[in-house]
Structures are given as C-alpha cells and as structure tokens.
Amino acid sequence: MSDLTIITTSDGSHSLFNPLLNETYHSVHGAIQESQHVFIQQGLKYWLAHNPSKDIRILEIGFGTGLNAFLTLLDLQNSGYRIYYESWEAFPLPIDLAVQLNYPIQLGAIDVFAQLHQSEWNAFVSITPEFILYKRLGDILKDPLPGADSFDLIYYDAFAPSKQPQLWTFDVLKKVVDAMSPAGVWVTYCAKGQLKRDLKSLGLTVETLTGPPGKKEMVRALR
C-alpha cells in the first residue's frame, strides 16, 4: 500500500489512488461529496429518521482514509446520539500519509481526524464521549463478523466489483447481512444489477437511489 498517492477530486477534497488496482478510494467527482451523499445523507440520516433509538451501531467495510467515520462523527457531534462505529480494514494506511489528507482543512476538527487514525487497532477507543471507534484490523473475506443483530447501519465501501469482485460475492454479502439488526439499513455507492439481485435474495428490500454528482445511481437496502 506504500505506492498510494494523494489525488485531489473535483470538490477540492483529497482521495487516494491505488496503482495496483488502478482505482481511487472515492469518486474523482468529489470524495467528500460522495461520502456525504451515499453514507451520511442516504444512510445515516435515513436510519435516524426511521428509528427512535439514540444508540446506533455502524459497520463499515473499508476504513481507508477514515472519511466516513470522520463525517459521521462530525454530523452527530452534540446531537445526543451514542455511536458505536466498527470499521474493518485489511490494509491500513501509513499514518504519515493519512494525516496529509485535507479533510480536516475542509471540515475542521484537525485533532479528531488525527485521533481516528492514531487510535489503536482492535480496541474500543472513545474518540469523543459519544463516539466509540473500533478499528478492526482484519480481512472481511476470512474473519468472522459478530452474530445477528450487531449493526444498525452498514457502510459498504469496498473497492468496486470490477476491481475486487471477491468483496461482492453472495457469501460475503450474506455474512454482512447476517450481522444486521432487524431494522438495519445498508448503503453503498455501487448499483450493479448482481448486487441488487443478491441483496434481494438475502431478503432485503432494495432501493436504487440517485447517486452523488458524477454517478447515476447508488443502492440502499433495508432489512
């Protein structure tokens, strides 16, 4: 992962380019815009609007730059919500690269962003009194997830199926769906037909929504 380079996307926010996969971590049309639309607006806000609970358990596949965790924390700061945020990552970024990302310049809270990256792996860390982060250093293809009713909201942010098809197989999707709560919500930037068919076969109600700028569609699926 040391060949990763920082790129600037169309909204001015950084992303990373992975030359081995010839793939970026976010949409080149805007990293913050994409995360904000797919994960925060259509995922987090949707769940909050449909659930009275003040506790939310989020599972992210692919911690990467930490952008989704950062946006989630900022969005719910001082809201009265308590957040458990578990994020899986098989190939963590070097910290010196992560802290060069311009998200805190664009969004504020420099210390919090650094903390997200500097916090220990495989440990429960209170980033703020309301936001518990568990960065799981692990491979979602091999390691077991916690059992049923473990997560309310899934941020499925793996590399695209064309680059890492193994992360989008029925079996991997099933493993994640099995860990969802009965009112669970799943969001991803991907809107491939096979993904939608698989999520339907797993019993979810699948919605195709307008994507972020530069992308036609995205998927939200409900248990």
Ligand X SMILES: C[S@@+](CC[C@H](N)C(=O)[O-])C[C@H]1O[C@@H](n2cnc3c(N)ncnc32)[C@H](O)[C@@H]1O
Task: Give residues in contact with ligand X (CB under 6 A).
Answer: 25, 62-65, 67-68, 88-91, 139-141, 157-159, 167
Nearer to ligand X, 165 or 205 (CB): 165
Helices (H) and strands (E) in the chain, counts: 8, 11
Toward ligand X, which CB reaches closer, 175 or 183? 175
We find the least distance from the C-beta atom of residue 158 to ligand X, in angstroms, to be 5
Q: Please give the backbone phi and psi of residue 6, each rounded to the nearest 5 degrees, phi first.
A: -80, 135
Question: One-letter amino acid identity for 4?
Answer: L
For the CB of residue 22, give the shortest distance to ligand X in the complex, in Å.
13
Closest residue to ligand X, based on beta-carbon distance: 64
- 99 CB neighbour count, 10 Å cutoff: 14
Helix (H) or strand (E) holding 86: strand 82-89
19: exposed, middle or buried (C-beta count within 10 Å: 0-12, 13-18, 19+)?
Answer: exposed
- Closest to ligand X by CB, 205 vs 213, is 213
CB of 117 to ligand X, least distance (A): 11
Name which of 28 and 183 has its Cβ closer to ligand X.
Answer: 28
76 or 167: CB nearest ligand X: 167
| Terminal C-alpha separation, the chain | 35
User: CB of residue 143 vs ligand X: minimum separation in angstroms?
Assistant: 8
Rounded to whole angstroms, what are the CA distances from 114 to 4, 52, 123, 137?
A: 19, 31, 17, 18
Q: Cβ closer to ligand X: 14 or 196?
A: 14
Sign of the dihedral defined by the CA atoms of residues 72, 122, 169, 64, in that order:
positive
At closest approach, how far in Å is the CB of 216 from ligand X? 18
Smallest gap from Cβ 107 to ligand X, in A, equals 13
